[in-house]
Amino acid sequence: MKDFSTEISYKTSRSSGAGGQNVNKVETAVTGIWNVMESQFFSFDEKLRISEKLKNRINSEGLLQMTSSESRTQLQNKKIVTDKMLELVEKSLFVPKKRVATKPSKGQIQKRIDNKKKLSEKKENRKFRF
């Protein structure tokens, strides 16, 4: 996992919701902003993959933004934003293995047909005949 946390810039704002005086006077909510295409830690292909996978989270300027107001402290919220962003980018870089199409073997096909015949006979024997 590449640690690009030095490229993330942070903005603070007042948190919303319950919390009384602390919420009203302290800027504890933290927004992390990272420019994907100007990153020095990733190759061009990796940047394209990140942009494609996270296109719903990246704005028109190419900035990935994430906000946290879970904690009462600015420092804790900054850590939460950083960790979430690193995890999100790491997941977006994952390349799934190609699926190799396979056919069922002749034995498997025969077994399935035999099971269907047995079930059909069982149901046929349930019918009342005069």
Identify the CATH number of the domain in which residue 83 sits: 3.30.160.20
Q: Would 127 be classed as within a structural domain?
A: no
| H/E segment holding residue 112 | helix 106-126
Strand partners, 34: 64
Structure tokens at 120: 């059909």
DSSP conformational letter for 61: T
Q: Which domain holds residue 51?
A: 5-93
Predicted pLDDT of residue 121:
94
> Which has more confidence, 107 or 69?
107
Q: Would 51 be classed as within a structural domain?
A: yes
User: Among residues 29, 41, 34, 84, which one has the least CA distance to residue 64?
Assistant: 34
pLDDT tens across 37-59, in order? 888 888 899 999 999 999 898 99
Q: Would 119 be classed as within a structural domain?
A: no
Cross-sheet strand order for the sheet of 63-68: 9-13, 29-35, 63-68
Total count of domains within the chain: 1
Q: Would 124 be classed as within a structural domain?
A: no
pLDDT bucket at 111, cuts 50 / 70 / 90: very high
